[in-house]
Structure formats: C-alpha cells, structure tokens
Amino acid sequence: MSIIGWIILGLIAGWIASHIVDNGGKGPLIDIVLGIVGALVGGWIFAALGAVPVTGFNLWSLFVAVVGAVVVLVIYHAIAGRRVL
C-alpha cells in the first residue's frame, strides 16, 4: 500500500477510534498518526492471534486499524490521565 493509502486509512481509522473512545477527534494530524500507529498495532495484534493483519485499502484493514487505534488511544489516556499539571 502506498504512503497516501496509509495516510488515508490512518485518518479514517484515527477519526473513528477517537469518536469511539472519547467522543471527538484529536485533530487531523493526531488522528492520522493515531490511525497509522493503530494500523501497525492492530496488524501486530491480529497476526499474533493468527488472524489476517492489514492487507491493503479495504474494510478488513480499516477494522484492524480501528481496533489498533482504539488500543493505542486507551493506552494513551491511561498514561496521559495520570499527569498532574
């Protein structure tokens, strides 16, 4: 998949995951980064479980990326939620 495909998939997955976890997007750049990292994490999780990881720009890959992005976002909130400013 091309870098443009990863960015588009990342944007969509990050946006969906942000709305699932905390009812709002983090902004386009953070959503893209979150989605791309989520796709990598989701691909690793699904491969470890014996399922098919990200295979291209399709609904299954979007599902895997969203699951990974939700995991990344929950971990982010667990770490960032402990900070006292």
42-73 burial, b for 16+ CB within 10 Å, e for fewer? bbeebeeeeeebbeeeeeebbebbbbbbbbbb
The two tokens of residue 27 are 């902004």
Which pLDDT value is given to residue 54?
74
Which pLDDT value is given to residue 38?
82
Instruction: Tell me the pLDDT tens digit for each residue of 14-53.
Output: 888 888 887 665 667 777 777 788 888 888 888 899 888 7
Tell me the whole-structure pTM to 2 decimals.
Answer: 0.80
| Average pLDDT value for residue range 64-85 | 79
Contact 53, 64 (CB under 8 A): yes
Rounded CA gap, 47 and 56, in Å? 15
Average pLDDT of the chain, as a whole number: 80
Which pLDDT value is given to residue 30?
74
Rounded CA gap, 12 and 36, in Å? 10
